[in-house]
Chains A and B, each alone.
Chain A
Amino acid sequence: MIRSASVAVTGLGIVSSIGTGRRQFWDALLAGCSGFSRVKSFDTRDYSVHVGAEISDFYPEDYVLELQPAMIGRTSQLAIAASRLALQDGALDLADIDGDRVGVCVGTTSGEPHYIERFDDQYVQGCTEQAGQELLRGYPCHVVPFNIAKELGLGGEVMMIPTACAAGNYAIAHACDLLCAGKADFMLAGGADSFSRITYTGFARLGAIAPHVCQPFDRNRKGMIPGEGAAILLLERRELALARGARIYCEVAGYGLSCDAHHMTAAHPEGEGAARAIKIALAQSNIRPDGVDYISAHGTGTPTNDRLETIAVKKAFGTHAYKVPMSSVKSMLGHTMGAASAIEAAVCALAITYGCIPPTMHWQSGDSDCDLDYVPNTARKHEVKVAMNNAYAFGGNNSSLVLAAYSRSGRQHQ
């Protein structure tokens, strides 16, 4: 397919366990900071693991100004903060534009899990007489983008795409399609998830959580570490961005989505679907495999994911797979679930902007299954004109997003 318009990334809003706001986040990322600590939001006494990547210094009242912070869930609070930061970063004053032409598209894994967790607590204690209203008003995952729209007074298309751990990429992809079709002038798109007992319990039961740190692509990697966070990207058509003199971080050149149709939790053993998503994304972006300068990996740190992801990248990139640096910021942030791929899309935009690649931290020893260049332990200066953002989810939902540098003389990669 040929895109009818180019979509520019003009604002980045990030709330994470290692820093809030573009600058703080990027500095922490390049310094290799980690957000891992003992889980505080619930008691992990009965669990065999106790570490998570929670955000400890988030104050919702700093960002939630129109709604009452206590009346909305934590995921909405994080997402509203990321949205305000993105608008601020993109120097877009909503008072200057028609709110009905601004849409919101967010991805998530769990939406607002605390409401149902609280309901479950009451249920097992046998006291649900008063409980329940929050299951409608607070819990359903669509409330997250709706709360953003309410807080900011936006009236365009408001949508949640809950495709689990790849959801941020799906949301950004759809936002780009809406902009190209002229159905919105601006989109706030990204992902958000708050730390969830249910998610933690499930991954602990699968034996997928590492005891201390997340070490993607390392021979002794022991698993992922659940986290929380939000990232919202301000997206607009290129000509509109130029007309208002916005800073353009990069453009979304294209995307590829595919489904393994294989197994709910196990990825395809040959990385078929993941490789197909990469190929679709490259074809749509009109970029050859050797035109990619950086891959932001899904890189959860589980033995299987990292092995299969490496296979998929080799399958799609051929010999270039060994030349292109690929790092996983989950080594620092943990797995922020539905927010992860949105945060990583922001990482790609920043890598393109600053010519620097964040490291894969906690990497100690090579693995015959994982033998690519994972940018171990130290950030690297590296010119990035084209970055690919890969993310995969339960259900075999695969996604690859291509972000490319923009220059006034035309797209640099062409």
Chain B
Amino acid sequence: MKRRVAITGFGLISSLGDSPSLFHQQLCEGKNGLGQIVEYEAQGFEPQPGGRVVSFAAETYLKGRPLRPLDRTGKLFAAAAKLALESSGWTAEYLATHDIGVVLGTMFGSMHTISHFDRQSLVEGPSCVSPMDFSNTVINSAAAQTAIWHKLRGINSTIASGATSGLMAIGYAADLIQCGQQMAVLAGGADEFCFEAFCGLERAGLLCGPASKGGCAVPFDGRRTGMALAEAGALLALEDWDSAQARGASVLGEIRGHANAYNAAWNQAGRGPEAIIRAMQCALEDAKLSPSAIDCISASANGSVADDRNEARAIGTVFNHGVALTAIKSMIGETLGAAGVLQSIDFLETMRNLTLPGIMGLEQVDRELVPLNFCRQPTFISAQAALISSLGFDGHACSLIITSPQLA
């Protein structure tokens, strides 16, 4: 008998705030968390929309010890973890008697630290690099730094699968709980905004580009040209269902099922929705729910021309075309490792507030898309179950199903 997985807390650091309820409220108000990325003009990159968490001050959350050992990804994750720990209701006594696991999903991890370290060695010589920086060049550094900061001694793992990493980290953590490896896990994702990531995505032609040249990062819109890169850290506190009940925890939701799929033919002509369909169907199967039991879908769509189209086709294939569909990345951008986790947090708040955010900026739904119930405006909804979808840029897809704790 599989154990059930309860969500008992959440925490986030994003360009739309650090409080789940405020985050959700701002999404429902259609607030835009993106700014203009102007600082790479010297390298030849025109200003374009992007989402830095400009106001983030790690010392607000992580007090009493020097922060120098953490790089920005580490700070985003450790700060969001602090908020998730507070929200979970795990008492000092609980934490002292339970080993809490940490699972981080990240696409680029410490890429900026790695590159900086290497360049310093090239310019100043290998004996001039910082040992502290070296310790952060491992991709598991953010998860490890978070464990060190918060004294979390359980399984500490890092998942890298591109932009699906955060959602896959939640699935991985849910598996650890389901098979009894761990009773409680903080799981989520983080990616910092850095030049190296920006440069990679821009040169690969995946960013939306300057608005003055028609750049548009609105999901499913006919004008869309690509994504807006952003940063965030976000986590869920996951817990064995029975032990959460036993301690009288307030349960926000349940991880009901999840699945990942890969399309090996992704780079060939005719790359289609096949992997996304398979991830969605397998997640439903894992959750033992029929497509009609899903009340709303939070799409991965970020303004990418091909991926948004494939995702719409997949949804149209698996679900009734009337299922409420939202996408939040025109407001918070593509936060890579944190993306699926932010979508999950948004849905937990949607269940609480009975309002599904609209797809901000969606004016002209792409005519080539399968006709779906694209929610342009905030929509009243009494949702019991959602499918959270996350797509990578390499032909892989992850789907996670979250249900209300009341749903039988």
List residues of A whose CB falls within 8 A of some B CB: 1-2, 4, 46-48, 99-100, 108-111, 113, 116-117, 119-121, 123-124, 128-137, 139-143, 146, 149-150, 152-164, 170, 174, 177-178, 180-181, 183, 197-199, 201-206, 257-265, 273, 276, 393-397
Q: Which of B125, B139, B147, B200 sits near A259, CB closer than 8 Å?
A: B147
Contact between chains at A181 and B175 (CB < 8 Å): yes
Contact between chains at B144 and A396 (CB < 8 Å): yes
5 examples of A-B residue contacts, CB within 8 angstroms: A124-B119, A201-B126, A258-B155, A261-B150, A395-B148
Contact between chains at A140 and B107 (CB < 8 Å): yes
What's the dominant secondary structure at chain A's contact region?
mixed
Given contacts A159-B161, A162-B139, contact A150 B393 (CB under 8 A): no
In the assembled complex, how far is the CB of residue B25 from the closest CB belonging to chain A, in whole angstroms? Answer: 34
Cα A136 to Cα B336 with chains together (Å):
12
Contact between chains at B200 and A135 (CB < 8 Å): yes
Contact between chains at B135 and A177 (CB < 8 Å): no
Contact between chains at A259 and B156 (CB < 8 Å): yes
In this complex, what residue of B is CB-closest to A178? Answer: B175
Q: Which of A2, A130, A150, A160 sits near B160, CB closer than 8 Å?
A: A160
In the assembled complex, how far is the CB of residue A167 from the closest CB belonging to chain B, in whole angstroms? Answer: 8
Within 8 A of A (CB), among B146-198: 147-148, 150-162, 165, 168, 172, 175-176, 178-181, 196-197
In the assembled complex, how far is the CB of residue A339 from the closest CB belonging to chain B, in whole angstroms? Answer: 14
In this complex, what residue of B is CB-closest to A136? Answer: B200
Cα A395 to Cα B147 with chains together (Å):
8
Contact between chains at A155 and B157 (CB < 8 Å): no
In this complex, what residue of A is CB-closest to B143? Answer: A395
How many chain B residues touch A (CB < 8 A): the figure is 82
Pick from A117, A141, A149 the residue with the most CB of B within 10 Å.
A141
In the assembled complex, how far is the CB of residue B145 from the closest CB belonging to chain A, in whole angstroms? Answer: 7
Contact between chains at A160 and B161 (CB < 8 Å): yes
B contact residues around A273 at 8 Å (CB): 153
Pick from B147, B155, B178, B196 the residue with the most CB of A within 10 Å.
B155
In the assembled complex, how far is the CB of residue A151 from the closest CB belonging to chain B, in whole angstroms? Answer: 9
Contact between chains at B139 and A257 (CB < 8 Å): no
Q: Which of A1, A142, A393 sits near B179, CB closer than 8 Å?
A: A1
A contact residues around B275 at 8 Å (CB): 155
Given contacts A163-B157, A259-B153, contact A135 B262 (CB under 8 A): no
Cα A159 to Cα B173 with chains together (Å):
14
Q: Which of A100, A121, A139 sits near B200, CB closer than 8 Å?
A: A139
Contact between chains at A205 and B140 (CB < 8 Å): no
Contact between chains at B144 and A120 (CB < 8 Å): no
Contact between chains at B196 and A119 (CB < 8 Å): yes
Given contacts A141-B160, A257-B155, contact A159 B138 (CB under 8 A): no
What's the dominant secondary structure at chain B's contact region?
mixed
Q: Is B394 in contact with chain A by the CB < 8 A criterion? A: yes
Pick from B107, B117, B160, B201 the residue with the most CB of A within 10 Å.
B160
Q: Which of A129, A140, A155, A177 sits near B44, CB closer than 8 Å?
A: A129
Contact between chains at B196 and A159 (CB < 8 Å): no
B contact residues around A48 at 8 Å (CB): 127
Q: Which of B107, B141, B176, B262 sits near A158, CB closer than 8 Å?
A: B262
In the assembled complex, how far is the CB of residue A297 from the closest CB belonging to chain B, in whole angstroms? Answer: 21
In the assembled complex, how far is the CB of residue A77 from the closest CB belonging to chain B, in whole angstroms? Answer: 17
In this complex, what residue of B is CB-closest to A44? Answer: B126
A contact residues around B154 at 8 Å (CB): 258-259
B contact residues around A123 at 8 Å (CB): 115, 119
In the assembled complex, how far is the CB of residue A137 from the closest CB belonging to chain B, in whole angstroms? Answer: 6
In the assembled complex, how far is the CB of residue B206 from the closest CB belonging to chain A, in whole angstroms? Answer: 7
In the assembled complex, how far is the CB of residue B244 from the closest CB belonging to chain A, in whole angstroms? Answer: 18
B contact residues around A393 at 8 Å (CB): 138, 140
In the assembled complex, how far is the CB of residue A208 from the closest CB belonging to chain B, in whole angstroms? Answer: 10
Contact between chains at B152 and A261 (CB < 8 Å): yes
Cα A155 to Cα B161 with chains together (Å):
14
In this complex, what residue of B is CB-closest to A268? Answer: B153
In the assembled complex, how far is the CB of residue A289 from the closest CB belonging to chain B, in whole angstroms? Answer: 21
Contact between chains at B158 and A163 (CB < 8 Å): yes
In this complex, what residue of A is CB-closest to B132? Answer: A264
Q: Is B109 in contact with chain A by the CB < 8 A criterion? A: yes
Contact between chains at A120 and B122 (CB < 8 Å): yes
**Per-position contact with A for B106-125: 1 when CB-CB < 8 Å, else 0?**
01110100110111011101
Contact between chains at B122 and A205 (CB < 8 Å): no
In the assembled complex, how far is the CB of residue A47 from the closest CB belonging to chain B, in whole angstroms? Answer: 6
Given contacts A159-B161, A170-B157, A205-B127, contact A259 B144 (CB under 8 A): yes
Contact between chains at B159 and A160 (CB < 8 Å): yes
Within 8 A of A (CB), among B249-273: 259-267
Cα A384 to Cα B289 with chains together (Å):
46
B contact residues around A202 at 8 Å (CB): 117, 129, 131, 134, 137
Q: Is B366 in contact with chain A by the CB < 8 A criterion? A: no
Within 8 A of A (CB), among B269-288: 275, 278
Contact between chains at B157 and A161 (CB < 8 Å): yes
Contact between chains at A177 and B175 (CB < 8 Å): yes
Contact between chains at A155 and B172 (CB < 8 Å): no
Nearest 9 interchain pairs by C-beta? A395-B144, A135-B200, A1-B180, A132-B203, A202-B134, A136-B200, A259-B156, A162-B139, A132-B199
Q: Is B72 in contact with chain A by the CB < 8 A criterion? A: no
B contact residues around A100 at 8 Å (CB): 261, 278
Pick from B126, B165, B202 the residue with the most CB of A within 10 Å.
B126
In this complex, what residue of B is CB-closest to A160? Answer: B160
Contact between chains at A161 and B134 (CB < 8 Å): no
A contact residues around B144 at 8 Å (CB): 259, 264, 394-397
Q: Which of A120, A178, A265 sits near B119, CB closer than 8 Å?
A: A120
Given contacts A47-B126, A149-B262, contact A141 B139 (CB under 8 A): yes
